[in-house]
Amino acid sequence: MTPYYEADGIAIYHGDNREVLGQWEGLRTQSFDLLLTDPPYGIGQGRTRCGHGAKVRKSGFDSGRTLASVTNYGPDEGWDDKPAHESVARSRAICRHSIIFGGNYYDLGPARCWLVWDKQNDGTDFADCELAWTNLDRAVRRLCYRWNGMLQQPGRAKEPRIHPAQKPEAVIVWALGLAPQSVKTVFDPFMGIGTSLVAAKRLGKHAVGIEQSERWCEVAATRLQQGALMLEVC
């Protein structure tokens, strides 16, 4: 299977992760040190519309791709209608370690180390924290990092929010940094706009991501090519 993007030890596959995983299982060729992913929670987030669109800047991107505007998520993208139990289980089977955001929506068994991301929401209707299930042999860890609409962590560069399940890059870098030092390869079967792959690249690791939406593959490829989330709010 030919990657959609591949450079510097990072690869993106465009397609349904169940189909890609099926091909890998048939060939028995893929295994990874760490599953780092943010799968669907089953709360209907994919049907939420965003008030602002965003577009990718073409400056500095020399891959030859023509990038279309990235606009509202769309009301009929039902990717978050139910948890992806099958894909999560199959992905865990080819990874030694796991960090799974939203793991509290899955039956993954007991965990010694939960990762707690405190969003500093100050009593809004949104969840105060997000949890990541892990099989890491260490104590529970917490990160306070504000991420509530236009209110983002003070003193940090603001990240345009263009994907309904987007996580701040700093949160994913933090999570990956808690993995054992032996981790060299990272896998994300629900890649989105590629934040886990960007984090892996920043920390000098190899990574593979799968994403079924071509527009998100395009954004991820652009981020990896440019080394940053080069987006501007429309």
The region of weakest confidence among 76-80, 131-135, 141-145, 172-176 is: 76-80
Contacts of 109 (CB under 8 A, 6+ apart): none
Higher pLDDT, 121 or 76: 121
| pLDDT for position 38 | 96
| pLDDT at residue 227, rounded to an integer | 66
Q: Nearest 5°: phi and psi at 68? A: -80, 165
Q: What is the pLDDT of residue 105?
A: 93
Least confident among 21-25, 181-185, 208-212: 21-25
Q: How many helices (H) and strands (E) does the chain have?
A: 5, 13
pLDDT value of position 163: 85
Structural domain spans, the chain = 5-233
Q: How far apart are CA 53 and CA 70, in angstroms?
A: 6
Whether the CB-CB separation of 30 and 93 falls below 8 Å is answered with no
Does residue 123 have a pLDDT over 90? no
**What pTM, to 2 d.p., does this model score?**
0.83
* b/e sequence 45-77, b meaning 16+ C-beta within 10 Å: ebbeeeeeebbbeeeebeeeeebeebeebeeeb
Q: How far apart are CA 2 and CA 175, in angstroms?
A: 29
**Residue 60 CA from chain centroid, whole number:** 24
What residues contact 51, with CB distance under 8 A and at least 6 apart?
A: none
- In CATH terms, is domain 5-233 a member of 3.40.50.150? yes
Torsion of CA 130, 201, 40, 124, to 10 degrees: 30
Paired with 37 in beta bridges are: 100
What is the number of other CB atoms lying within 10 angstroms of the CB of residue 222? Answer: 24
pLDDT at 149 > cutoff 80: no
Q: What is the pLDDT of residue 11?
A: 97
